[in-house]
Every structure is written in C-alpha cells, then in structure tokens.
Structure 1
C-alpha cells in the first residue's frame, strides 16, 4: 500500500454457519471488498476471489451482512470516484498517443478525449450524504 492509496474499508464480516474450502471466509470477504474498490465491478471482484457474482449477492443479502453491504457500497463509491477522476483528466488535460509509421515510432499525438468527458458527465460520483439507501 502506498501513501496515495485510500485506507482499507473496515467492516464486520458476515458470520458463516460452517466453514467450507470454497466458502465466504472472513479473509475472502475482505479480499472481495478490496477487489471491488479496485475494479468497480461485482463480477470482476467475485472472479478475483474465486467466486461468482450470484454468490456475492447472496452473501450480501444474508442476515448479519449489514456491515458487509455498507463496505460494498463504500467500495463501489470509491471506484466510481476514481473512474470519474480518470475520465475527467483525460477529457480536460488530454491524452498522448504514440504514432508509428511502418513499425517505427515517429512521435505522439495529443488529443482531448471527448468520449471520456461525456462518460464522466453521464455517471458522476454521488456524494455520501446524497446516496439513496
């Protein structure tokens, strides 16, 4: 973890009735939340911990999963804010694209990524106090 990384999301793991080798252990739940914050995708985060999207949603809906669900929402919010920042930067500061001719590097082209700007405007991050529960 470097200094610019956000602090880990603290939560109480969902209690499990019995341990399974492929189940949602406390460690797997924590890795899922970290992966969710990095990818912003439930599907990708579930795959990263060797599970499925359906299983993750089932875990989220279990009794006693309120803290896990809150951490899930927080992780998605962080990922969305990071995505917004990246898209906004591409739209305003622009992007350098290498140019090649017959396989040889000949320079760069600078352009403002309007599609990234439109994507950022279409899906801006929602401040915590405005989120619907």
Structure 2
C-alpha cells in the first residue's frame, strides 16, 4: 500500500508554503529564546511537528519572579559546576518544556548532578523554583488536554491511499476528568451530597418510601393484569361454547348420515 499523504488545505494547493522547521542542533532538549515570536518545535521527527506536546513554550523573561530565586553557591566551583547562571537557565528551560531531561540537556548537566544539587543545604530556593517550573509545564499540558477535549481530534478513514472520510472524535472520559479536576469544589459538593444520603437522612427515607410504594404499586398492577387476562380467556371460552357445541352436533349428524348410507348399501 502506498504511503498516505495527509490532506492539504486548498490554500496550499498541495504544497507547503515554507519548509518544515529543522530540528534544533541539540535535539528535543533545545528551548527557544525569550525573543522568539512563536513556539519552536522541539521534536526531530517530522511526524510530530504538528503535535501540541512537540512544542516548547517560551521561556520566562529574565525579570520573571520565577528566576529571582537565590541560587546555590559552590564554595569552590569547578569547570563543570552548575553555576547560578546555569541554574537559572535550567529553571527557564524547565518552565518552557516541563521536562527535566530536556532542561538538563539544555545546560549540559547530568540528572544525577542536578538532583544532588537540589538536595544540598542552601539550595532550598533552587528546589522551590524547580517545583514552580514543573507546575508551569503541567499547566501547559493541561491547556493542551483541555483544547483536545473541547475541539476533539480529527480522524481519517483511509483505503488504498485515499482519504474516504474524516470525522472529529471527542474524548468524553478526558473531558469528564478535566471537569472534575478544574471544578473540584462543584464536583466534590455533589459527591458529598450523594454520600450523605444514608438511612436516617430525611431525603433518603422519603425516596425509599416513594420507591417502595412504586414497587408495591407496580407489583399489584402486574397481578391485576394477570387477572384481567384470565378473565378475558374465560369470557372468550364461554362465548365460544355454543359455537363449539353446534359444530359437534353437525359432526354427529354427518356421522349418522354416513352410517345410514352404509347400511342401505
């Protein structure tokens, strides 16, 4: 089967107006500069260049409060030490991507060194900024998930390399999860109200009485319908009795006539 080419919009006339962005030199770990006009794709795979999670958000501005933390100061810094500037660069990239591995690759530091630095006495503000940067990345992911839940995903039905149909698929489970997370107070209030419905609660007792009455009424209605059915069968049987008796008399007369004819013969 020939490879499927995604459908192009009429404005492109089957061709792209500009070449796709080239992957950054550092792979997925590169972050765009603060002066970038648009999000930069961080995935080297062309198939992922239109994915929401393949793009990194813009890093925070230099005067962002997130970068105003007091960095850890090495007593005797070495050539490969994670200096204050590298710590701020790490936090900035982490806030843009939400992925520790990418931010570590951005500053050229190992994960072991970063986690060891994070737990050093005197690195409390660096650790707090780390958590805040992760929160920003998660917020971006939540926005992507919310957009996906609302707008849905376009799906294609392809046969022999041709797009036969397309439709929008909505993720109901994702939408319900996001509502529960973003409207926690409302959902928790409803759950608490339902959880309070126990024996002894006035609403519970009232509903139970109503349902018990409905069940009893339904049971009696079934019995009444059976009685009516039996009565109808009995009435039809009584109404048909004279007709059946007349048929029996006709059969007896025919049998008698047949017997008389046989004797004469």
Distance 1:97 1:28, change over 3 A: farther
Residue pair 1:94, 1:111 contacting (<8 A) in 2 also: yes
Deviation at 1:39, TM superposition (A): 2.0
Relative contact order (alpha carbons < 8 A, sep ≥ 6): 1 or 2 greater?
Answer: 1
- Normalising by structure 2, what TM-score? 0.39
Q: 1 or 2, which has the higher helix percentage?
A: 2
Unaligned runs of 5+ in 1: 125-133
Give the one of 70, 73, 81 matched to 2:139.
81
Question: Based on CA coordinates, which of the two structures has the bigger radius of gyration?
Answer: 2
**Number of residue pairs the alignment of both structures matches:** 124
Moved over 6 A (4+): 98-107, 121-124
- Normalising by structure 1, what TM-score? 0.70
Matches of 1:105 and 1:116, distance apart in 2:
27
Q: 1 or 2, which has the higher strand percentage?
A: 1
Matches of 1:72 and 1:38, distance apart in 2:
12
Residue pair 1:100, 1:106 contacting (<8 A) in 2 also: yes
Distance 1:121 1:42, change over 3 A: farther
Deviation at 1:109, TM superposition (A): 4.2
Deviation at 1:52, TM superposition (A): 1.3
Mean CA deviation greater in 89-98 or 39-48:
89-98
Give the one of 111, 115, 133 matched to 1:53.
111
In the alignment, what sits opposite 1:90?
148
After TM superposition, the structure 1 = structure 2 runs for residues 25-36 of structure 1, keeping only pairs within 5 Å, are: 25-36=83-94
In the alignment, what sits opposite 1:62?
120
In the alignment, does 2:146 pair up with 1:112?
Answer: no
Unaligned runs of 5+ in 2: 1-33, 38-56, 183-265
Distance 1:94 1:57, change over 3 A: same
